[in-house]
A and B are shown apart, each in its own frame.
Chain A
């Protein structure tokens, strides 16, 4: 916008503002009463304090819930990301080392147990977390039931089964995430 145009624009808005003020000041409720009404003033102050207290309490509760949500969601994200890496490795390779499976299981079992304890302390229904825990243990047991040689599990004959179990586990993770969203 050019400089001249900007000046006219400001002048028009100034005049419009002045006109609005003039019109509104014609109403009596804008007139300032010099007398002090004690009961009304006290009621106003009381109402303002109660309002502030309610706003503060709600804000604190919201912040607390937000912190709990962020903490647990971060934990679940880490476990899910770990499972994703692990399952991708299982899918893309035709085999997996027993040691890699044991290492993943150790981390996953421990972390899910921790998330479960936190959710129990929030008094949430943790059925889906227990389900996820059981499914992960079943998945580990299933992989260990496949042919093993030199501590290497061969998954080549059971790709579609493995894939199906991974999809089911991802659905379990999604259920737990939904539960965390309810915090």
Chain B
């Protein structure tokens, strides 16, 4: 299993949606870390564990951008079946991630 710990590998203070909104955006997280790790986990035939705990909190747009990009790029069911989201501090983030994965982008 591959693991991404956002607090340790990306930032303690995630930003908003787009690069234009400022540093450490959802788009940046997708490009820099999430997409690559997901591809590697698919190649290795293992699941990708994403740990959301440890940060100051997430803007809903950050999670939505990163995970809706992933879902639309690789297919919603395929993404959701290969992800393990850990969010013990705010379990509701898991629901937000799931909704984002299944969201159809225009």
B59 interface neighbour in A110, A140, A150, A152, Cβ under 8 Å: A140
Tell whether, in the assembled complex, residue B90 and residue A98 are in contact, meaning their CB atoms are under 8 Å apart.
no
Among B13, B20, B91, chain A packs the most CB atoms within 10 A around the CB of B13
Tell whether, in the assembled complex, residue B16 and residue A106 are in contact, meaning their CB atoms are under 8 Å apart.
no
Tell whether, in the assembled complex, residue B21 and residue A148 are in contact, meaning their CB atoms are under 8 Å apart.
yes
User: For residue B62, which residues in chain A have a CB less than 8 angstroms away from its CB?
Assistant: 102
A157–B61 CA distance with the chains assembled, in angstroms: 21
User: For residue A102, which residues in chain B have a CB less than 8 angstroms away from its CB?
Assistant: 13-14, 56-59, 62
A105–B22 CA distance with the chains assembled, in angstroms: 19
Among A101, A107, A109, A151, chain B packs the most CB atoms within 10 A around the CB of A151
Contact with B along A80-108 (1 / 0, CB 8 A): 00000000000000000011011111110
Interface check B60, CB cutoff 8 A: yes
User: For residue B20, which residues in chain A have a CB less than 8 angstroms away from its CB?
Assistant: 148-149
**Chain A's nearest CB lies how many Å from the CB of B67?**
16
A149–B60 CA distance with the chains assembled, in angstroms: 17
Tell whether, in the assembled complex, residue B16 and residue A103 are in contact, meaning their CB atoms are under 8 Å apart.
no
Residue of A at shortest CB range from B14?
A: A102
Interface check A174, CB cutoff 8 A: no
Tell whether, in the assembled complex, residue A105 and residue B21 are in contact, meaning their CB atoms are under 8 Å apart.
no
**Chain B's nearest CB lies how many Å from the CB of A120?**
15
Tell whether, in the assembled complex, residue B16 and residue A144 are in contact, meaning their CB atoms are under 8 Å apart.
yes
Tell whether, in the assembled complex, residue A144 and residue B61 are in contact, meaning their CB atoms are under 8 Å apart.
yes
The binding surface of chain A is classed by DSSP as: helix
Interface check A34, CB cutoff 8 A: no
A151–B59 CA distance with the chains assembled, in angstroms: 11
Tell whether, in the assembled complex, residue B60 and residue A98 are in contact, meaning their CB atoms are under 8 Å apart.
no
**Chain B's nearest CB lies how many Å from the CB of A71?**
22
A101–B58 CA distance with the chains assembled, in angstroms: 9
Check A137/B15 contact, CB under 8 A, given A110-B89, A110-B90. no
A107–B20 CA distance with the chains assembled, in angstroms: 27
**Chain A's nearest CB lies how many Å from the CB of B54?**
11
Tell whether, in the assembled complex, residue A149 and residue B57 are in contact, meaning their CB atoms are under 8 Å apart.
no
A45–B89 CA distance with the chains assembled, in angstroms: 57
A98–B20 CA distance with the chains assembled, in angstroms: 13
A144–B25 CA distance with the chains assembled, in angstroms: 12
Q: Besides A105-B59, A141-B61, A153-B16, 6 other CB < 8 A contacts?
A: A99-B56, A102-B13, A137-B60, A144-B16, A148-B22, A150-B23
Can you report 19 residue pairs joining A to B where beta carbons are below 8 Å apart?
A: A98-B59, A102-B14, A105-B57, A105-B58, A105-B60, A106-B56, A106-B58, A137-B60, A140-B59, A144-B17, A144-B59, A149-B22, A150-B22, A150-B23, A151-B16, A151-B22, A151-B23, A152-B22, A153-B16
Residues of A at the B interface (CB closer than 8 Å) are 98-99, 101-107, 109-110, 113, 137, 140-141, 144, 148-153
